[in-house]
Structure 1
Amino acid sequence: MTNGNKELSLEQREELFNTLKARFEKNMNRHEGFEWDNVQARLEVNTEKLWSLNQMEATEGEPDVVGYDEKTGEYIFCDCSAESPKGRRSVCYDREALESRKKHKPENSAIDMATEMGIDLLTEEEYRELQKLESFDKKTSSWVQTPANIRKLGGAIFCDWRYDTVFVYHNGADSYYAARGFRGSLKV
């Protein structure tokens, strides 16, 4: 899929641009007032971010533009798949949780996967903002960044959307479920 320095081939870049542009144009409610040409221009000068966006796409996150950071001039991409991305489910929260399991370890952790992909787990606040755009995670749940005081005690938090409401829950950080993954964001 990629070479050693995490660069996409010209063909992969073109395919990614086409996918992102089609999604952008189909879902204007997520980014009213934004122009695709400006987003693409930003992507073309930040090619190191394309690999991360491609990883979001490859794990079925369906990344799309959900905001713009006025201070940095960066567009904010976020996973907009209806449910937690399929290619990122059945993971515990972080490496410490993964290593603490004696039996039935998951293959990976949310934090490790996000780091490998070059993206950030959503915070609870970012998750709530995403849900204002449309309803996500009606059948699944997503790990979110956990405050240090909760993580220190062995816990981690996750969110989902039920009854027209964002719910925030806790679990042991070492738990994992087929219906729980994580959503990420990337500034470009």
Structure 2
Amino acid sequence: MSSKKKLSSQQTADLLKIVKARFEKNRNRHKGIEWNEVQAKLKASPAKLWSLNEMEITGGEPDVVSYDNLPRRQAGKTGEYIFYDCSPETPKGRRSICYDHAALESRKEHKPRDSAMNMAADMGIDLLTEEQYRQLQQLGEFDLKTSSWIVTPAPVRKLGGALFCDRRYNTVFVYHNGAESYYAVRGFRGSLKV
């Protein structure tokens, strides 16, 4: 593993302290999950720790939201802890970006600095799906002033569109936009399995 994608001992300790405090403060997000088990998984996965740190430093406030506790062979479950970005608004360090690389390349002028799909891949995380976004919204109220790109079905993307979500009027809305569009209040939320 590249040293660029590995945290130092001090960075690891600092990150674990932050994530543990968030975990303890928001017990409603992960009932029945124990921090010591999460921490052990994280310490055993340096690349995942690096990705979690990327989520943190870009403003995502990652937290554990579930655990797949069945073996891989059963119903596709992985036995992994699942983190989502739980920042109240879409992460600040991931805003003003278009949907994917093709959309970024299609812009001839006024290009955004990056795309959601590129950034997620570079960070080692996945964009939330619509189902995951709705699951997150069951744990609190997110994106009351911002919006977040979500995984877009191939037929929609093929026609030039991309999907995003937000929460308004106590309701989760799914919208569409040109994939090349970008706004100061639109970013993306990610998920990480550890």
**TM-score, normalization: structure 1?**
0.97
2:18 & 2:3 partners in 1: Cα distance? 24
After TM superposition, the structure 1 stretch with the greater mean CA deviation from structure 2, 152-161 or 28-37, is 28-37
Pairs within 5 Å for 1:88-167 = 88-167=94-173
Structure 1 distance, partners of 2:145, 2:93, is 16
Question: Who is 1:27 aligned against?
Answer: 26
Q: In structure 2, list runs of 5 or more residues that go unmatched.
A: 70-76
Opposite residue 12 of structure 2, the aligned amino acid is: R
SS in 2 for 1:12: helix
Name the structure 2 match of 1:55.
54
RMSD: 0.8
Write the distance in 1 (CA, Å) between the matches of 2:133 and 2:185. 17
Displacement over 6 Å in runs of 4+: none
Name the SS for the 1:133 alignment partner: coil
Q: Which runs of 5+ in 1 are unaligned?
A: none
Aligned to 2:68: 69
The match for 2:73 is none
Q: Which whole-Å CA distance do the structure 2 matches of 1:98 and 1:137 have between them?
A: 24
**Structure 2: which amino acid aligns with 1:22?**
A
Identity across the alignment (%): 69
- Larger mean CA deviation between 89-98 and 71-80 belongs to 71-80
In structure 1, the residue matched to 2:40 is 41
1:30-53 CA distance string (max 9 Å, x none): 001111001001111112100000
- Per the alignment, residue 16 of structure 1 pairs with 15
Provide the rounded CA distance (Å) in 1 between the counterparts of 2:171 and 2:34.
Answer: 31
Amino acid corresponding to residue 143 of structure 1 in structure 2: W
Relative to the length of structure 2, the TM-score reads 0.94
What is the aligned residue count? Answer: 186
With 126-135 and 67-76 compared, the bigger mean Cα shift is at 67-76
* Post-superposition offset of 1:5: 4.2
* Mapped partners of 1:142, 1:98: distance in 2: 17
CA distance, structure 1, for counterparts of residue 154 and residue 122 of structure 2: 21
Superposed displacement of residue 4, structure 1: 3.8
Q: Which stretch shifts more, 67-76 or 20-29?
A: 67-76
Deviations 1:78-136 (A, max 9, x none): 10000000000000000000000111000000000000000000000000000001010
- Does 40-49 or 114-123 show the bigger shift? 40-49
